[in-house]
Amino acid sequence: MSEQYLDCDSLIDLGTIYDAIAYNGFSKETIDLIDIYTKHILNGKTNFNQFNQQEHAGLCCAGEVLIGATIVCNYAQASLRASSDAGTGQASPFNWEIDEAQETLLQQWAESKHLWFANAEADIELEYGPMIAQGAEAKVFYKEGDTSVVKMRTSIYATLDRALESIVLHNALFPETAMKLIGFTRDSDGLLRSISTQPYIRCKRLATKYEIDHMVALKGFQNNQDGQGVNYIGERLHLEDMHPANVFIDAISDVPVCIDCIVKFIKK
C-alpha cells in the first residue's frame, strides 16, 4: 500500500494516516505512511496548519523524529475528541486524558521505529559522554570535544503535543541553539522524557537582564509586566523563563544565546 501512496502524493493526508493507525496500529504500512508524510513536510510539500513559514523551518530543524511524533500525538487528540463528539455522553477530554493517550501511542510508535531507549542514561553516557548538568526539567550529557550536547527533558506542558510544539518554536526563535529530537524514554520515576541534541555553547558568562531584554525585543517581544522580569509576550507567542541561567554570552560570538526557555502560542 505504501508504494501506491509514494506514486500519488495527493493521496497522502493526515486522514489517511489516522485511518491506518486506527485499523492497523503501527504496522509497517502505517509507519511507511507516516514516514512519507514526514518527507513531504521536510520537502515543503505540506505543513502543519499551526505553523507559519519561520516556524516550519524550526519544525524541519527538529527533524524527522519530532515530525513523526507530532503526527502520532495529533492523531491521539483527534481520536479522543471524535469519541467525545460521537454522542457517547462524554465531555471534551481533559488535558490529562489527552496527555495520557498521546504518551501511550507515542511509546508504541517509538518502539516500532526503534526510537525508544529502554536504558537511556547508560546508552547516552556510553555514546555521548557523562552527565554534566541536571535541573528540574533536563539532564545534560556532553563529551569533551563534541559540538553538541544531549538532553533528556521532561515535559512541563499540559500535553505532550505542546511540549513537542515548544521545540519547534524554540528552533524558530533561536536557530543557533536548535534542538533535534532523536528519541524517547522513561526515567526511574516513570516520567516520559524526550531525548534531543543541541549545539554546545561555550559560556563566557551569563547574560544580564538588559542583554536579554534587548535580544528578545529584536525578535518582537516585550516584558509582559508580570513582575517576574523573565517572561515576555509577542504577537503570536509567550516567551517565559528567560533568566540568565538559560541565556549565555557565547564565548565565540560574544552575543547572548538562549539554550532553554518556555515558549508557547498565545492562543493556548
pLDDT over threshold 70, residue 10: no
Q: Where residue 85 falls among pLDDT bands split at 50, 70, 90?
A: low
Grid coordinates belonging to 96? 490529562
Cα–Cα distance measured from residue 114 to residue 171, given in angstroms and rounded to the nearest whole number: 25
The share of the chain scoring above pLDDT 70, in percent, equals 93
Please tell me the predicted confidence (pLDDT) of residue 225: 78
The pLDDT of 74-87, averaged and rounded, is 83
The domain ranges of the chain are: 2-112, 120-199, 203-265
Q: What is the 3-state secondary structure (H, E, C) of the chain?
A: CHHHHHHCHHHCCHHHHHHHHHHHCCCHHHHHHHHHHHHHHHCCCCCCCCCCHHHHHHHHHHCHHHHHHHHHHHHHHHHHHHHHCCCCCCCCCCHHHHHHHHHHHHHHHHHHCCCECCCHHHHHHHHHCCEEEECCCEEEECCCCCCEEEEEEECCCCCHHHHHHHHHHHHHHCHHHCCEEEEEEECCCCCEEEEEEEECCCEEEECCHHHHHHHHHHCCCEECCCCCCCCEECCCEEEECCCHHHEEEECCCCCEEECCCEEEECCC
Cα–Cα distance measured from residue 47 to residue 52, given in angstroms and rounded to the nearest whole number: 9
The pLDDT of 195-224, averaged and rounded, is 95
Taking only the tens place, the pLDDT of each residue in 34-65 is 999 999 999 989 999 999 999 999 999 999 99
Grid coordinates belonging to 18? 489516522
For the ranges 5-9, 81-85, 216-220, 228-232, the lowest mean pLDDT is seen at 5-9
pLDDT over threshold 50, residue 8: no
Taking only the tens place, the pLDDT of each residue in 156-188 is 899 999 999 999 999 999 999 999 999 999 987
β-pairing verdict for 131-134 and 138-141: antiparallel
Q: What is the CATH number of domain 120-199?
A: 3.30.200.20
Nearest to 253 by CA among 211, 215, 203: 203
Q: Considering the chain, what is the average pLDDT of its residues?
A: 90
Taking only the tens place, the pLDDT of each residue in 223-241 is 987 777 899 999 999 999 9
